[in-house]
Chain A
Amino acid sequence: MHKSIVTAALLLLVPAFAAVAWAQDASGIDSGDTAWLLVSTALVMLMTPGLALFYGGMVRRKNVLGTLMQSFIMIALIGLQWILWGYSLAFGPDHWGLIGGLEWAGLVALDLTAASDYAPTVPHLAFMMFQGMFAIITPALITGAFAERMKFSAFLVFSLLWATFVYDPLAHWVWGGGWLSDFGAMDFAGGLVVHISSGLGALAAALVIGGRRGRGMPTMTPHNLPMTILGAALLWFGWFGFNAGSALTAGSLAALAFVATNTATCAAALTWIMCDWLFQGKPTVLGAATGAIAGLVAITPAAGFVGPLSAIAIGIGAGVFCYLAVAVIKPRLGYDDSLDVFGVHGVGGIWGALATGLFASTLANPDGTDGLFFGNAAQFGTQVVSVLVAVTYAFVVTFVLLKIVDRVIGLRVSKDEEILGLDISQHRESGYTILD
């Protein structure tokens, strides 16, 4: 009797010891951190189909498949580019602070069982794939700028070039041990690398490719807003992996980023519909969705550095600035950034990167830095310079790449193809039937 109780007690203890033993193996890999990063990777993957739906609902019926496809196929295209050379350019051994070398191309030279210096408690492969999902969604974000008029072949070539010459170098500068990280730029999950780069790329794209035919006509309104709301909700969901996953550990930093992400998004969505209500008379559903995305964008660079109240301020700022960019400034300037990639990701990304330099606090993250409002004005200056660098680099290089692709392949579908729609002209399919 007595003996069996002791045995039972010992048996209960066994899993506890085993868990300790398994949590970190000899190479320093932590099972909790690894599990969280793998889940986050899958969450970020889901953002790209979410984006496809978000954009797909905003276009006309005849372009729904073409628009969904431009996001969806990025998973395949950049998914391969990343393995073959993208990861190596972004995170491979540093050369002059400017670019990673091709030493890791094809991942041949990686120790597949070990961790990396980037994330010492997770397998290198897990870190590589997590970053790969970021590389995938970033060019997909740009597609909103040239929606409904880009030739599919030219789009594939452009996206591959863009990932290679804009995304990979920027990711290297900020996260891969390049010069912007040495300079002190703070970018927790991709304000500079993901949102400023895609937002300014989008502005260049809208300018180079020109507006859609029939712009301003009543038939140009979104064809399926429920699809857009579903897409926005999936983006919000996946963004927890994007931001909280960027902690690269499953601990308090991930929780901080998670809370900041949700809080800023709530504030931005409410702010946007308040602006709608104030200026247009009704709170719109598309406004709630757009505001939420603006909040997610703006909190991205700050998520691991700010407390919940700062997140609210960042969210409100995102709602106001992005609303102004989309509803007031764009109509005056007249460029056709069709689905407001610049207005939401460019402007939201710039605000978020600057706001990181204002609201960052070592009270929230002791391993971070203080921003202007917490007594460190220098960090704000650093953020301003990094924003200027990212804005200029992304805009100029995107502009040049588009001009080259236009020369060689032609960016735009023909007039007849544009009238017919991308679904039939580029893919020979229809998204919807008319007769049951």
Chain B
Amino acid sequence: MKLIVAIIQPERLESVMDALDGEGVHLRTVTNALGVGRQKGHTEVYRGVREAVNLLKKVRIEVAVNEEFVDKVIDAVVKGARTGNIGDGKIFVLDLPECVRIRTGERGVDAIG
């Protein structure tokens, strides 16, 4: 089992979700995140004083899957999130030792889907 964590541009969320659905992956967790990467920040101005903002709004998607779905998820995220511009984001793939469905007590591979 793997946990796939993708950091993407907020406005790409819809197309990533569509792409995941297209691969038959329907389960996911989505959170707001702030990130610093190579993408330049912007400045904000409050009462005439400039503030540099380099923490940019990002969306973090987490998908836990069985091995055979790992490439499908990666492809779907890349397809949905890529624009070719700096700041498109990254995908981290982590080993996932355990998964428990709270409702039934199922564990591991059976609990994921």
Q: Which residues of A contact B (CB under 8 A)?
A: 214, 217-219, 419-420, 424, 428-430, 434-435
Which A-chain residue is minimally distant from B42 (CB atoms)? A424
| CB pair A217 B46 closer than 8 Å | no
Residues of A within 8 A of B71 (CB): none
- The answer to whether B11 touches A428 (Cβ under 8 A) is no
In the bound assembly, the distance between CA atoms of A192 and B45 in angstroms comes to: 41
A435 near B34: Cβ-Cβ < 8 Å: yes
Which residue of chain A is the closest to B14 with respect to CB atoms? A217
Contact check, A434 vs B32: say whether CB atoms are below 8 A apart. yes
Q: Which residues of A contact B53 (CB under 8 A)?
A: 430
* Distance A419 CA – B42 CA, assembled complex (angstroms): 14
Min C-beta distance of B30 to chain A, whole Å: 10
- Quick one: closest A residue to B85, CB to CB? A416
Q: Which of A214, A219, A430, A435 contacts B44 (CB 8 A)?
A: A430
> In the complex where A434-B32, A434-B34, A434-B57 touch, is A214 in contact with B11 (Cβ < 8 A)?
yes
Please indicate the chain B residues that have their CB under 8 angstroms from the CB of A430 in the complex: 44, 53
* A-B pairs with lowest CB-CB distance, top 5: A428-B45, A419-B11, A428-B44, A217-B14, A429-B44
A434: B residues at CB distance < 8 A: 32, 34, 57
| B104 contacts across to A, CB distance below 8 A | none
Which residues of chain A are near B57, meaning CB under 8 Å?
434
**Chain B residues with a Cβ under 8 A of chain A:** 11, 13-14, 32, 34, 42-46, 53, 55, 57
* Known contacts A214-B11, A219-B14, then 15 further A-B pairs from the complex at CB < 8 Å, ordered by chain A residue: A217-B14, A219-B13, A420-B42, A424-B42, A424-B44, A428-B42, A428-B45, A429-B44, A429-B45, A429-B46, A430-B44, A430-B53, A434-B34, A434-B57, A435-B55
CA distance A218 to B11 in the complex (A): 12
Contacts of A424 in B (CB 8 A): 42, 44
CB distance from B15 to the nearest CB of A (A): 10
A428 contact set on B, CB distance < 8 A:
42-45
Residues of A within 8 A of B42 (CB): 420, 424, 428
Cα of A109 to Cα of B42 in the assembled complex, Å: 50
Query: Is A214's CB under 8 angstroms from B14's CB?
Result: yes
Residues of A within 8 A of B34 (CB): 434-435
| A435 nearest in chain B by CB position | B34
Question: B17: nearest residue on chain A (CB-CB)?
Answer: A218
Q: In angstroms, how far is the closest chain A Cβ from the Cβ of B91?
A: 21
Instruction: List residues of chain B with CB within 8 A of the CB of A420.
Output: 42
- Cα–Cα distance between A219 and B13 once the two chains are bound (Å): 9
Give Cα A214–Cα B15 distance, bound, in whole angstroms: 10
Closest Cβ neighbor of A216 among chain B residues: B14
Determine the residue in chain A with the shortest Cβ distance to B34.
A434
How far does the alpha carbon of A318 sit from the alpha carbon of B34 in the complex, in Å? 45
Task: Please give the distance in Å from A434's CB to the nearest CB on chain B.
Answer: 6
CB nearest neighbor in A for B12:
A419
CA distance A424 to B42 in the complex (A): 8
Q: How far is the CA of A21 from the CA of B42 in the complex (A)?
A: 65
For residue A429, which residues in chain B have a CB less than 8 angstroms away from its CB?
A: 44-46
How far does the alpha carbon of A142 sit from the alpha carbon of B32 in the complex, in Å? 32
A419 to chain B, nearest CB (A): 5
Residue contacts A-B, CB under 8 angstroms, 18 given = A214-B11, A214-B14, A217-B14, A219-B13, A420-B42, A424-B44, A428-B42, A428-B43, A428-B44, A429-B44, A429-B45, A429-B46, A430-B44, A430-B53, A434-B32, A434-B34, A434-B57, A435-B55
Contacts of A217 in B (CB 8 A): 14
Complex Cα gap A219–B44 (Å): 24
Give the residues in chain B near A419, CB-CB below 8 Å: 11
Bound-state Cα–Cα, A241 to B43, Å: 42
Closest CB in chain A relative to B55 CB, distance in Å: 8
* B43 proximity list for chain A (CB < 8 A): 428
CA distance A214 to B14 in the complex (A): 9
Chain A residues with CB under 8 A of B32: 434
Please give the distance in Å from A65's CB to the nearest CB on chain B: 11
Q: How far is the CA of A286 from the CA of B53 in the complex (A)?
A: 34
